[in-house]
Amino acid sequence: MSSADDSPRASLTPGALSRAQRLREKRLLTGLVSYGLALAVVVGAWLLDFYRGAVVVTVVAMIVPINLLLFALIRTGRNLRFRDPNITLLQLCLASVPMLYAMFHAGEARGAFLVLTLSVTMYGLFSFRTRDFIYFTAFIVLSYSVVILMTLFLHPDQLRPRVDSLQWFAVLVAMAQFSSLAGYVTRLRGRLRERNLQLADRNGALEQALERIREMAMRDDLTGAYNRRYLAEAIALERKRCEREGGVFSFVILDVDFFKKVNDTHGHLAGDDVLKGVAAFLRRELRETDLFGRWGGEEFALLLVGADVDAGRATTERVLRALADEEHPTRVGPIRVTASAGITDYRSPEDPDRTFARADEALYRAKAGGRDRVEVG
């Protein structure tokens, strides 16, 4: 006898649906404990000589196929055809049948089995809607009425009219109270679900805002490339990785040649367009494993992961040649630029600032040597 969730099938992915089915199977197996406890009461009544042992055998013969049927429904996925895929109403109705049978044979001990039957209701308290409880109430009241009528016709000597009438009325009142409580629980769950959805929406919006903040903290506003702070942190991490695993990387500072002339001739807005174009060009030309960003002004920095200085120089020379042929769209028309670059490799265990300084010195020599070239530091 397992309780249920209200998860709509349509909202579940195939993986989540499979997990939900496995969970239902586990709950069904866990429910065997409840059957075992109920069976202990059935055996106890037999030991106290309220009925013959055949009643115990019949109860067991009911419990086994009931659970096999429920397990088969879940294992084959046929339970998913029900509005409640946990088939809680069906489980509780079927679970009540063996207790009602034992109740019929229990004579003056019927009250004990009545309590046991009503206890089944607890499993639906947090999953039933009010309508489900009305159906289950009707089933229990009618079933108990059938037990009383059968006792009247088959074992009239065991009937206690005043006691049985009072118990029937008590069942009706108890189930009405359970139905009322179930309605309250359903409304409460609805409000909680609505608040959870609202909270999820707020959390989603907050996550998006935090992601935007994180993105803004690591990106250059103009070009969308990584900023100097982020690059410095990435280089520090790469340095630690190289020291730990023995890897290599090259660091390049690339400076757009005669950028001041671009600004003076075409205006600063056109100069901004050129910087955006250079960033877009680098994004296309470099490997996914490499990083680049705006180092400052018209300077860009490149982190070439796994490349020694020779491989890094070859890559940088290829990039500069392609850049010289690239036309960058601006508000005043296409503009071509060249760039100079200084490259160095990381030499353990030096401080990253020393690596930066060596690349900067190499860049100075490249600019002094005629620009549009690469120098190694």
Tokens 């910087």 sit on residue: 275
Backbone φ, ψ for residue 125 (5° rounding)? -60, -40
**Strand pairing class (291-296; 339-345):** unpaired
Tokens 């969970």 sit on residue: 23
| C-beta neighbour count of 216 within 10 angstroms | 11
Residue 105 near residue 51, CB atoms below 8 Å: yes
Integer Cα distance of 105 and 308 in angstroms: 89
Question: Could you confirm whether 215 is annotated as catalytic?
Answer: no
**Strand pairing class (291-296; 299-305):** antiparallel
3-state class (DSSP) for residue 374: strand
Nearest-CA neighbor of 235 among 186, 314, 292? Answer: 292
Cβ-based neighbours of 4, under 8 Å, separated by 6 or more: 84, 86, 88, 124, 127
What's the CA angle centered on 351, arms 348 and 357, to 5 degrees? 110
Tell me the torsion sign for CA atoms 26, 32, 34, 35: positive
H helices, E strands: number in the chain = 11, 5
- Following DSSP, what letter does each residue of 25-89 receive, concatenated? HHHHHHHHHHHHHHHHHHHHHHHTTSS-HHHHHHHHHHHHHHHHHHHHHHHHTGGGGSSSTT-HH
Integer Cα distance of 25 and 55 in angstroms: 29
> Hey, what's the torsion of the CAs at 5, 9, 13, 19, to 10 degrees?
40
Q: Which of 25, 211, 245, 298 is catalytic?
A: 298
Report, as residue numbers or ranges, the catalytic residues: 298
